[in-house]
Structure 1
């Protein structure tokens, strides 16, 4: 798509906002149509049952996780390949101490699809947040809101009614649950890591563990880099016999205690709750970004939320034309 060449990273040539084209159904089209028609009512039923009813009942963390695994099971998202840095295959149960996100830690997750949020909820039961490029604070959101954000328009600035808080406040309020952050601030097609929000290093207690987590789906056509792609996502998700989820968890990056030398952070139009990143904070952001790129076997790109906004405008004009 030559008209979108301006949205390729100059260094790597990666286009992180283009949707991944699905493989043609060919002779399997009748099977795909049957699977879609059979699974769609089931998916709607289990989603309504959980989000409208079960999540408000005192069913406990295990009950909620079981319900979420039912949601993942409808499109056959059972095939999970989980690897943790520093842990040999098959020995995670014996060595999980400090290797996986837990209470008073941060999950810095890639963001490519609504599946990311559902999987994190089913495994880690975190507190979800929304990040923005120009503010250190985050917005506390629900799992349902996190799912909808995978289809939402990219936002540089928080909405006027957003209630922004510090990550440290959420850690103090929910000491037994990790805090999930999507530091890229918007979805991609999984082929690159966008510049990360400063929210992942803002005012954290010294020694707080930040776990880079990469979640990838195969086939990759169930990513949602284009806003409002509901039907395309559902068709690609429900019409295929099965999907594969590849999860990688890096070793934790620990927050620092006190800042020293600082470098400017561009807050040209946004929330001015801070105007500087320290060198140590920038180093932590770089380490998290490099870990996400390594885990996902991709590269970091220079395109961010503003570029995606311009991409979406051109994409919509092209579709109308």
Structure 2
């Protein structure tokens, strides 16, 4: 059903590509996530959810947050990118690294989402999600009979960059011994006057995302879509993976930091320091201006 819906929407041919940076590797093992494995992806549209449902029949989870609190963090104004080699120096932050005060929310747990709940959640921020049933990701993964999809941005972007990742894997070590991680990035072509963008960063005021669905159907044109996947041999789950070759500054959630850098690399996207908490303030301003 999900593939039929994509076909009707114009996504007839979906390009899947395994992107490797290592020379001499002509053949990579295909992506075969199993039950309990983690698929980490960016999120810019409900079309992403449909494709994942068609391709892997996964379980979707979303984090449930505690009340946000102000904290001072080091912010690098440069976008997240891939930096080969080990970090050298005295450990003193560079002059380009600034301090900023931001509102961050701690992850209290996760809730399992149905396919239609994930489609409805597109464009919303996770503070709109409430649940009396909250579980830890490890418990959900261990009891899962299918792969588990995690969107570390926790809300949709405009598809042109990666939002700041939430610490969804706090405490996990890199390389990960206890779980298999598959990293991917979905990209769409920029919109044209004849072809609207599949990205859906702001939820529709009512019946979300039906108005956007009708917008995609109206031109009756083909929609290009590409899915770029990191080979399992270069995943943080690989025994040969070195976190120091990917991320310079590892935080309390080194796995999320590594996933952000690797996703930016394979998707050729820039990471921004704008997170879902910042989007809450932006949407409040946006809707007040439209009244």
TM-score when scaled to structure 1? 0.63
Given the alignment of the two structures, is residue 315 of structure 1 paired with residue 286 of structure 2, yes or no? Answer: yes
Check the 8 A contact 2:162/2:271 in 1, yes or no. yes
Task: State which of 206, 209, 228 in structure 2 corresponds to 1:230.
Answer: 209
Q: What is the alpha-carbon distance in structure 1 between the residues aligned to residue 14 and residue 278 of structure 2?
A: 33
Residues 228-271 of structure 1 deviation map (CA, whole Å, 9 limit, x = unaligned)? 26355123311231101110111322299xxxxxxxxxxxxxxx
Check the 8 A contact 2:171/2:253 in 1, yes or no. no
Q: Which residue of 2 is the match for residue 134 of structure 1? A: 106
Given the alignment of the two structures, is residue 295 of structure 1 paired with residue 229 of structure 2, yes or no? Answer: no
Given the alignment of the two structures, is residue 81 of structure 1 paired with residue 52 of structure 2, yes or no? Answer: no
Q: What is the alpha-carbon distance in structure 1 between the residues aligned to residue 151 and residue 15 of structure 2?
A: 21
Moved more, 240-249 or 292-301: 292-301
* Aligned residues: CA RMSD: 3.0
Check the 8 A contact 2:172/2:254 in 1, yes or no. no
Residues 276-311 of structure 1 deviation map (CA, whole Å, 9 limit, x = unaligned)? xx9575332211001222233221111111210111
> 2:200 aligns to what SS in structure 1?
coil
Check the 8 A contact 2:19/2:266 in 1, yes or no. no
Check the 8 A contact 2:40/2:149 in 1, yes or no. yes
Q: Which residue of 1 is the match for residue 237 of structure 2? A: 254
> 1:180 aligns to what SS in structure 2?
strand
Deviation at 1:116, TM superposition (A): 0.6
Residues 144-186 of structure 1 deviation map (CA, whole Å, 9 limit, x = unaligned)? 111111043x134852x342212221222124x2100111011
Unaligned runs of 5+ in 1: 1-66, 257-277
Alignment CA distance shift 1:301-1:83 (3 Å): same
Task: State which of 153, 158, 177 in structure 2 corresponds to 1:189.
Answer: 158
The aligned runs of 1:1-321 (5 Å cut-off) are: 67-86=1-20, 95-97=28-30, 99-132=31-64, 133-135=105-107, 137-152=109-124, 154-156=125-127, 159=130, 161-175=131-145, 177-201=146-170, 206-220=177-191, 221-228=197-204, 230=209, 232-240=211-219, 241-251=221-231, 252-254=235-237, 279=250, 281-320=252-291
Q: What is the alpha-carbon distance in structure 2 between the residues aligned to residue 255 and residue 165 of structure 1?
A: 27
Alignment CA distance shift 1:157-1:233 (3 Å): closer
Q: What is the alpha-carbon distance in structure 2 between the residues aligned to residue 145 and residue 156 of structure 1?
A: 14
Q: What is the alpha-carbon distance in structure 1 between the residues aligned to residue 286 and residue 144 of structure 2?
A: 40
Alignment CA distance shift 1:162-1:210 (3 Å): farther
> 1:254 aligns to what SS in structure 2?
coil
> 1:170 aligns to what SS in structure 2?
helix
Q: Which residue of 1 is the match for residue 96 of structure 2? A: none
Check the 8 A contact 1:208/1:255 in 2, yes or no. no
Unaligned runs of 5+ in 2: 65-104, 192-196, 240-248
Alignment CA distance shift 1:157-1:134 (3 Å): farther
> 1:83 aligns to what SS in structure 2?
strand
Check the 8 A contact 1:218/1:244 in 2, yes or no. yes
More helix by share: 1
Aligned pair count reads 226
Higher relative contact order (CA 8 A, sep 6+): 2
Check the 8 A contact 1:136/1:199 in 2, yes or no. no
> 2:119 aligns to what SS in structure 1?
helix
